[in-house]
Chains A and B, each alone.
Chain A
Amino acid sequence: MEETNNLSGKPQKEDQNARRQFLKKLGLVVGAGAAVTAGAVYMGYDHENKKNPEGKKIRVLTADGQLMEVSEAELLQAENSVETEETELQRRGREGIPGKHWVMVIDLSKCRNARMCMAACQGAHHLRPEQHHINVLRMQDAEHTEPYFMPKPCYHCDNPPCTKVCPVDATFKRQDGIVLIDNQRCIGCRFCIAACPYSARIFHWIEPLKSEEDKDLPYDVELNVPQRKGTISKCLFSADCLRDGELPYCVRACPNGVYYFGDLNEDVVTNGTTRETVRFSELIRKNGGYTVLEELGTKPQVYYLPPKNRLFPYQYEGKTTLDPDDSRIGGGRG
């Protein structure tokens, strides 16, 4: 019924009305559009006028090393905020240094427990005295064997159990072999601490030592400073020093020539004390180099030279190493 009604007389009128209204609306829309367009064209024209009429070009380097050309008039002072700096530090920090495979050799026969390595490390990374990226352990392999001192950094394993378990990719292994921790990503689950068989990782249970002083610094993932409460920290092989062509903090600080550091790809390592550079493969072969707990399959990238010809007895907490009554002797090497 209604349909037939709609088809007769009445709707035609409505139709005309609708058309009139449509035209009216169209006019409005077109008018507004034209006004906007005119405005935009004028502003563009004005903008172009303000530019250098010659269009003089200059060359600039982008942050990732690309050479670019821009017209001089468009050049602005780069905004050097903490955010932009951090983005760049994160990018290069996660990428690593191409072509390198960092390796450390620790000569146990030379270690006299001077602990300069520990102090230098804690200074650089703003750590408390009980927080160790590198820890000099007093080892005794078996009941009647002689104790010795063993500096223990992170071993930067080629098959790292810690990065495997991280749920958020906060700890990762770079192309140059360094295992880093991104404390802007870390959720503080501590699974990596549980997974590391070498106890190489620490956690910021309370506010870090210098968190107040450091709070405005851009975060450098290669130095892990500023440190953050509720996140992990660990030995970084001083990735920030390596980027500047320097040896790691601990390696440089050693007074006894314990540390060698270098590139496995080039097969050279440099002694941090004597600055003598030697062939890595030869050093390991001739001195019986080994890695710790290699049976776990972690492929550590820190090698040890055996603790032979030691200058014993050493003084240790008021006792000599020959005293048998130190209850804190650990389980030895596996």
Chain B
Amino acid sequence: MSVNKLSPEESRSVLNKIETDLLRPLTHHKGFELWILFLALVFIVGGYAYFIQLRDGLGVTAMRDYTSWGMYIGNFVFFVATSLIGMFISSVLGLLKIKWITPISRIAEMIALAFAMWAGIVIVIDMGRPDRLLNVFLHGRFQSPIVWDVTVVTTYVAISTLLLLLPLIPDAAIVRRRLPDLPKWQMKIYDLLHLGWEARPDQYQTIRRSMRILAILIIPVALSIHTVTSWLFAATLRAGWDSTIFGPYFVSGAFVAGAAAVIIAMYFFRYNYKLGDYITDFHFNRMGQVLVLVSAVYIYFNLNEYFVPAYKMRTAEQLHLHEMFQGHWAFLFWFTQIGCLAIPTLLLIFKRMRKPGIMLWLSVLVLIGAWFKRLLIVVPVQQHPYLPIQNVPESFHHYVPTGIEIMLTFLPIAGVLLIITIIAKLFPVMPVWEIAHEKGVDESMIK
């Protein structure tokens, strides 16, 4: 740690600049109302779609007896996947003492919390009897992977909340001091969260130690949520899901989706919140390298997942793989594998490509691909059961999502954006105190 201490005068002016920059969006935010209005509109449309689904049953979706899990489950897997990035950046990189993550750790945690919370709601949207949700707690059987999933996802949400709140303690104190004119209810939140922060050395010690404990705790929990999610499929006997590498395959794919989401958020906050002094080209370069690394691992798992069964072409897997490689799903399959995974990874290997603008578009591509990849994991397998699909209407053979399903997929996405928007509106998107500390500001002044 080579932090050069600043003199009290320098400290004061540096801290003042950091505070001014990072707290500006709390009071000024152009287009905020319009954005909220847009999200509200998505909510209203989605809410109406859900009302129709409740009234008429899941028959308003394209799901039928054979393809009985569709877009909702794909969306659920995507949500859980994307939420893993919070653990990767704050814990894995943080515990490795990698310094450049400081300005993006809170962004990663906001994404993690928002996606994890909404993952739980997405799964309720898929339930035939959401009114019986309590049965999971009243009659829960621990033999069922669904109960494991409920357990680990709630734990992950709890730990992620704490990991977000702890570093907010000093920041809440700062906001409270700097912006006393904010509305009363908002001040109450800071009052509650600052927990009597006085920047005492023992307080620093407590907060750092607690964050470290949580950072360690969250690693096994985060690995569990996506491993268990993969087991919802791998624990069945269906050809195409019946795979021993599904756990690591899902986890590695999760980091790809999450890293892309973080890059998109970084770009947004850099330009919209005018934080170019904090989220620099250097940070984009680093995140680009992270994306290359996790994508390379994911490509390796994809090779194992598709090439090895394809080499053997066992009867049961044959139909499925043919449909993926050259049949009904071929376009989507090659689009996600080549267009949204291989090409972005190859491009990002070159330093010239690791610039904010290019990375934004590549990340959008990667994220879209990640979403469709989940759909490809969930849906096609069900269309090739061991025994033939016969004596049912034509619609049972195919799966083309309905408008209701699409609306109810956008509803949770809007929900995630809403949570991120609210957190980013109430609090600085970076830990002010950690950034000030890194710039050499006297710690006792950060309160």
Partner of B141 from A135, A152, A169, A203 at Cβ < 8 Å: A169
A187-246 residues with Cβ-Cβ distance < 8 A to B are 187-191, 193-195, 197-199, 201-207, 229-231
Stretch at the interface among B88-96, B129-137, B352-360: B129-137
Residues of B within 8 A of A185 (CB): 132, 135, 139
Find the B residue at minimum CB distance from A229. Answer: B57
- What count of chain B residues pass the 8 Å CB interface test? 52
Give the distance to chain A from B142, nearest Cβ to Cβ, in Å: 9
Cα distance, A199 to B232, chains bound together (Å):
17
Asked whether, in the complex, the Cβ of B58 is within 8 Å of the Cβ of A132, the reply is no
A-B contact count (CB 8 A): 158
Name B's interface SS.
loop
Find the A residue at minimum CB distance from B393. Answer: A130
Known: A167-B147, A168-B135. A204 touches B57 (CB 8 A): yes
Q: Does A313 sit at the interface, judged by CB under 8 A?
A: no
Give 8 nearest A-B pairs by CB, closest first: A188-B128, A330-B388, A230-B128, A205-B59, A206-B59, A167-B146, A167-B144, A188-B129
Find the A residue at minimum CB distance from B139. Answer: A168
Q: Does A296 sit at the interface, judged by CB under 8 A?
A: yes
Partner of A199 from B135, B143, B144, B389 at Cβ < 8 Å: B389
Partner of B126 from A189, A204, A229 at Cβ < 8 Å: A189
| Residue positions of A touching B, CB distance < 8 A | 118, 130-132, 135-139, 152, 161, 164-170, 185-191, 193-195, 197-199, 201-207, 229-231, 292-293, 296, 298, 328-334
Find the A residue at minimum CB distance from B56. Answer: A206
B90-133 interface code vs A (CB 8 A; 1 in, 0 out): 00000000000000000000000000000000000011111011
Q: Does B63 sit at the interface, judged by CB under 8 A?
A: yes
Partner of A167 from B66, B141, B316, B390 at Cβ < 8 Å: B141
Known: A161-B237, A166-B141. A330 touches B63 (CB 8 A): no
Cα distance, A45 to B126, chains bound together (Å):
60
Partner of B68 from A168, A186, A190 at Cβ < 8 Å: A190
Q: Does B283 sit at the interface, judged by CB under 8 A?
A: no
Partner of B58 from A131, A169, A198, A230 at Cβ < 8 Å: A230
Give the distance to chain A from B396, nearest Cβ to Cβ, in Å: 7
Known: A186-B128, A187-B132. A203 touches B58 (CB 8 A): yes
Cα distance, A230 to B319, chains bound together (Å):
30
Cα distance, A137 to B389, chains bound together (Å):
8
Cα distance, A195 to B393, chains bound together (Å):
22
Cα distance, A138 to B233, chains bound together (Å):
28
Cα distance, A138 to B130, chains bound together (Å):
37
Residues of A within 8 A of B238 (CB): 194, 197
Q: List 18 A-B contacts (CB under 8 A).
A: A138-B388, A165-B145, A165-B235, A167-B141, A167-B146, A186-B128, A187-B128, A191-B144, A194-B238, A195-B237, A198-B385, A205-B63, A206-B56, A229-B128, A328-B389, A328-B390, A330-B389, A331-B316
